[in-house]
Chains A and B, each alone.
Chain A
Amino acid sequence: MLDFYNIDSLLSEEERAVRDSVRRFVDDNVLPVIGECYVEGRFPKEIVPGLAELGVFGANLPEEYGCAGLNNVAYGLIMQELERGDSGVRSFASVQGALVMYPIYAFGSEDQKRHYLPKMASGEIIGCFGLTEPDYGSNPAGMITMAREQPDGSWVLNGAKMWITNGSTAKVAIVWAKTNDDKDQRSIRGFIVPTSSKGFRAKDQKGKLSLRASDTSELVLEDVRVPADALLPKSGGLKSPLMCLTQARYGISWGALGAAMACFEEASSYAKTRIMFDRPIGGFQLQQLRLAEMLTEIVKGQLLCVQLGRLKDRGEFTPQQVSLAKRNNVSIATDIARETRRLLGANGILAEYAAMRHMANLESVYTYEGTHDVHTLILGQSVTGLNAFGA
């Protein structure tokens, strides 16, 4: 991969080693199969044991829970390399690490951490994250899923969750629900729900034209009873799931760059070898403009991510800074994928090339984990102090 700004010099030897190891894994295990998986609409679950052995799940969580204990820049580089393969593969790891392991780590009891985290790092337990509902996407505070505490201390959950990555694959779901008929968002708490629980159903989302190599499901909870210790004791209010989303969005900022880098590599190599009018198409100004724009945006995005990661490692980053990075990097990646598709001409519509797959995937990434528009409002509010959200 072209390192036009010597960004490698901003990385430690260890960070580069992590990236290079995951890069090689993706080259060997993801790239050869992903086009076919995409067409078949199948998540390549055969790569999960290898990813676990490599240590990518929850890689920035501490070693004492069976994780790799990496810093956040190294973690970001892992996300970049996974999404260089496919957004679906990165989504799988994001959900497992940032949306399931992280809340257990941040809001769980010591027993929950010791029980779940090592098994999730080793891939023995796959998890999913249930926040979004059919009628409450950008407005999760309105959720209607309810958990009612029973006299014996157990909880009974009712509701439905939608657009849940890993939903049909997962052994456990982190389900966010309002508690005890209190409609206020401050009553929201997280529960670790085994997907084998009576009354729990996951339904594969059919007809996706994006993230086809990813499991996206709908979860239905009908009188699902879980014991008292299923509650994440330190979770409280909408702030808790939003903290998870900040973690995941951080990873997405890096991941989107990976997809952009894959497209840029494809575009530049195609431009140098595809002959039209007796010369490589890269010799034409229109294609050079495309390539120059792509390269510029990738470099800017990389610098953004490295600095964001350093801030995160120092404990100084804000959710608004993450919004800026997610919003920018996914947007430029979406544009780069589309321009690559166009540069490749008719070949660009084939699954044999990565561009259109990334292009379609990134439309989901643009929309999930805070839509592009929602991040715009977060930044707008940060600048003006005025809330432009509906409520």
Chain B
Amino acid sequence: MKIAVCIKRVPDMESRFRITGDGKSVDEAGLKFDMSDFDGYAVEVALQMTEKLGQGEVVVVSLGPDAVQEALRKALSMGVARAIHLKTDRVPVDGFAIATALAAELRSGGYDLIMFGKHAMDSMNGVVGAMTAELLGLPNVNSVSKLEVAGGKGTARRELEGGAEILEFPLPAVVTIDEGIARPRYPSLKGIMAAKKKPLESKPVQLIAPRLEPTRTELPPERQGGRIIGEGVAAVPDLIRLLQTEAKVL
């Protein structure tokens, strides 16, 4: 069983964000970064799968500038065997450009399973996994909450509103992982030391011309102070009217 997990380095979502001078993107200065949460679940699932089988290899792949190597090394410290860094000067906003580069790398890798988090915590697009599957001509299951493989076949569970769906598919396949499937392990201190010695291959890749570019990035509006419109039962009709007409939440 050979598994590739594609991971993304994202800012800590509890940071205080600022917008760059040109108003187009988030200013990365002073932010702390980590592997995207769902990608961490995917790494954990992949590790558990090979540990349970007692054989196999987990490889992590990430695209972006040199800084993404820190996220790759974190995966290595969790127990992943080796890492591939697809080196670009930035992470494009166009998921298709990312998927194209990933597919080119993964196509000849002989992977039985290619895993992603269901979406990145920063962009929340959730398209790169599906696009990569399509480019590779592989079956694709998204937002998987339980995953098993046996006999060249995979079985995945997906949580639906008020129910669940269980799907079967042939390997190789591309699967994106939902939260709650597995708790990512703490990188052990020995694992952190060992990660330095594991292979991390960095190769420059040429991105295709992006088909979309951001024109503006905005922070949510400052929260306004509350307003007291009256007291007691007498105020209720006004309150309902304002919730309907002004706040538009009813």
Chain B residues within 8 Å of chain A by Cβ, number: 14
Chief secondary structure at chain A's binding surface: helix
Closest beta carbon of chain A to B16's beta carbon, Å: 11
Residues of A within 8 A of B74 (CB): 17
The answer to whether A54 and B193 touch (CB under 8 A), given A17-B73, A17-B74, A17-B77, is: no
Chain B residues 182-196 with CB under 8 Å of chain A are 186-190, 192-193, 196
Q: Which of A13, A21, A53 has the most CB atoms of chain B within a 10 A radius of its CB?
A: A21
Residues of B within 8 A of A25 (CB): 186
Chain A residues 68-84 with CB under 8 Å of chain B are 68-70, 74, 78
Please encode chain B, from 160 to 190, with 1 for each CB lying within 8 Å of some chain A CB and 0 for all others.
Answer: 0000000000000000000000000011111
B201 contacts the other chain (CB 8 A): no
In the complex formed, the residue of B with least CB distance to A3 is B32
Q: Which segment, of A55-63, A237-245, A275-283, faces chain B? A: A55-63
Q: Which of A13, A17, A54 has the most CB atoms of chain B within a 10 A radius of its CB?
A: A17
Count the A-B residue pairs with Cβ separation under 8 angstroms: how many? 46
The answer to whether A54 and B70 touch (CB under 8 A), given A14-B196, A17-B77, is: no
- Whether the pair B70, A13 counts as a contact (CB closer than 8 A) is yes
Residues of A within 8 A of B193 (CB): 14, 63, 68-70
Q: Which of B32, B70, B77, B193 has the most CB atoms of chain A within a 10 A radius of its CB?
A: B193
Chain B residues 66-97 with CB under 8 Å of chain A are 70, 73-74, 77
Q: How far is the CA of A13 from the CA of B73 in the complex (A)?
A: 9
Q: How far is the CA of A70 from the CA of B196 in the complex (A)?
A: 12
The answer to whether A55 and B73 touch (CB under 8 A), given A14-B196, A63-B193, A68-B193, is: no
- Whether the pair B192, A21 counts as a contact (CB closer than 8 A) is yes
A18 contacts the other chain (CB 8 A): yes
Contact of B186 among A8, A21, A70 (CB under 8 A): A21
Residues of A within 8 A of B77 (CB): 17, 21
Please encode chain A, from 1 to 29, with 1 for each CB lying within 8 Å of some chain B CB and 0 for all others.
Answer: 00000001000011001101110110000
Residues of B within 8 A of A59 (CB): 189
- Whether the pair B190, A56 counts as a contact (CB closer than 8 A) is no
Residues of B within 8 A of A69 (CB): 190, 193
Closest beta carbon of chain A to B65's beta carbon, Å: 15
- Whether the pair B192, A17 counts as a contact (CB closer than 8 A) is yes
Q: How far is the CA of A22 from the CA of B191 in the complex (A)?
A: 13
- Whether the pair A54, B196 counts as a contact (CB closer than 8 A) is no
The answer to whether A55 and B190 touch (CB under 8 A), given A13-B73, A17-B74, A17-B77, is: yes
The answer to whether A56 and B186 touch (CB under 8 A), given A13-B70, A17-B74, is: no
Q: How far is the CA of A348 from the CA of B186 in the complex (A)?
A: 32
- Whether the pair A54, B73 counts as a contact (CB closer than 8 A) is no
- Whether the pair B186, A24 counts as a contact (CB closer than 8 A) is yes
Residues of A within 8 A of B34 (CB): 20
Contact of A21 among B32, B70, B188, B196 (CB under 8 A): B188
Q: How far is the CA of A70 from the CA of B188 in the complex (A)?
A: 12
Contact of A18 among B73, B192, B196 (CB under 8 A): B192
Q: How far is the CA of A24 from the CA of B186 in the complex (A)?
A: 8
Contact of A53 among B32, B188, B192 (CB under 8 A): B188
- Whether the pair A21, B189 counts as a contact (CB closer than 8 A) is yes
Closest beta carbon of chain B to A97's beta carbon, Å: 12
Closest beta carbon of chain B to A389's beta carbon, Å: 38
Please encode chain B, from 196 to 226, with 1 for each CB lying within 8 Å of some chain A CB and 0 for all others.
Answer: 1000000000000000000000000000000
Residues of B within 8 A of A21 (CB): 77, 186-189, 192
Residues of A within 8 A of B189 (CB): 18, 21, 54-56, 59, 68, 70, 74, 78
Chain B residues 138-156 with CB under 8 Å of chain A are none
Q: Which of B73, B74, B189 has the most CB atoms of chain A within a 10 A radius of its CB?
A: B189
Residues of A within 8 A of B186 (CB): 21-22, 24-25, 53-54
Give me the interface of A with B, judged by CB distance under 8 Å.
8, 13-14, 17-18, 20-22, 24-25, 53-56, 59, 63, 68-70, 74, 78
In the A-B complex, the 8 residue pairs with the smallest Cβ-Cβ separation, listed nearest first, are A55-B189, A68-B189, A21-B187, A17-B192, A21-B186, A68-B190, A55-B188, A55-B190
Identify 10 residue pairs between A and B in the complex whose beta-carbon atoms are under 8 Å apart, listed by A's number: A8-B32, A14-B192, A17-B187, A20-B34, A21-B186, A22-B186, A24-B186, A56-B189, A70-B193, A78-B189
**17 further contact pairs, Cβ within 8 A, besides A21-B186, A54-B186:** A14-B193, A14-B196, A17-B73, A17-B77, A20-B34, A21-B188, A53-B188, A54-B188, A55-B188, A55-B189, A56-B189, A63-B190, A63-B193, A68-B192, A69-B190, A74-B189, A78-B189
